[in-house]
Amino acid sequence: MTARHQHVADDLRRRIVAGTLPVGERLAAETQLAAHYRVSTPTLRDALEVLRAEGLIEKFQGRGNYVRRPPERLSYPGAGGTEDLHVTVSSTDLTASDDLAARLRTEPNASVTEYVCLSHRANSPQSLAHLYVPHAVARIQAPAIGASPWGDDIVSAVGGLGATSTDQVTARFPTAAEAQSLRIGARTPVLAVERTIAAVDGLVVAYELLVLPGDRAEVALATRIDKKAET
């Protein structure tokens, strides 16, 4: 037997696909939808969560739920799908936690600057990056508008030519703060890319956590295969 929230989600999905609820349309208030479908408000919210996880609707705080434009793909680390992104950058000085200090290979409580890069396409958030740079490495004034959704312009400033990154990719659910920043559901999977950036001398100059919504992102990893030494 299909759960009641799934029946509601199925009907709303059908109306969105058919165009009865067009892109950009604001859905009725949750209490009104719950009354229309004769379900409780929590059941209605479960149905909306299903549609948010599918990328069919998005919720704006204080404004309600809207039919979402089909998401365009984001390709990391390439430039595909990033040309029309608007990237805002903010920065905060803080002291490194034990975990962050270990990733940066610096002393606990070391002074660090956190740069937050949030990219948008139109009014829809696309990616979120937290980049951490020890003061012992560099202190730069980041522009309010970034050139790269991945913070590559900041990495270039602190790492210089020849800097390399080691990436670890994990699929998981977003934290509450990530879901709010990216305006996605709590059960919408994300791809979390942890980047450790090292200068040519091996010094770790930055650590980054990049979060991409799993419904629109793809990650390409390149592996170098060394030729077997001849005997």
Task: Considering the chain, tell me which residue range(s) the CATH 1.10.10.10 domain(s) occupy.
Answer: 4-67
Tens digit of each residue's pLDDT (9 = 90 or more) over 7-47 = 999 999 999 989 999 988 999 999 999 999 999 999 999 99
Task: Considering the chain, tell me which residue range(s) the CATH 3.40.1410.10 domain(s) occupy.
Answer: 74-219
In this prediction the pTM is 0.75
Contact residues for 3 (Cβ-Cβ < 8 A; gap 6+):
46
What strand order describes the sheet that includes 190-198? 145-146, 86-95, 111-121, 124-134, 204-213, 190-198, 164-172
> Binning pLDDT at 50, 70 and 90, where does residue 3 land?
confident
Pick the CATH number of 4-67 from 2.102.10.10, 1.10.10.10, 3.90.600.10, 3.30.70.20: 1.10.10.10
Average pLDDT over residues 73-92: 82
More confident residue, 70 or 30: 30
What count of residues does the chain have?
A: 231
Instruction: Quote the pLDDT of residue 1.
Output: 45
Q: Does domain 74-219 have CATH number 3.40.1410.10?
A: yes
Tens digit of each residue's pLDDT (9 = 90 or more) over 49-64 = 889 878 788 888 788 9
Tens digit of each residue's pLDDT (9 = 90 or more) over 125-151 = 899 999 999 999 998 888 888 888 999
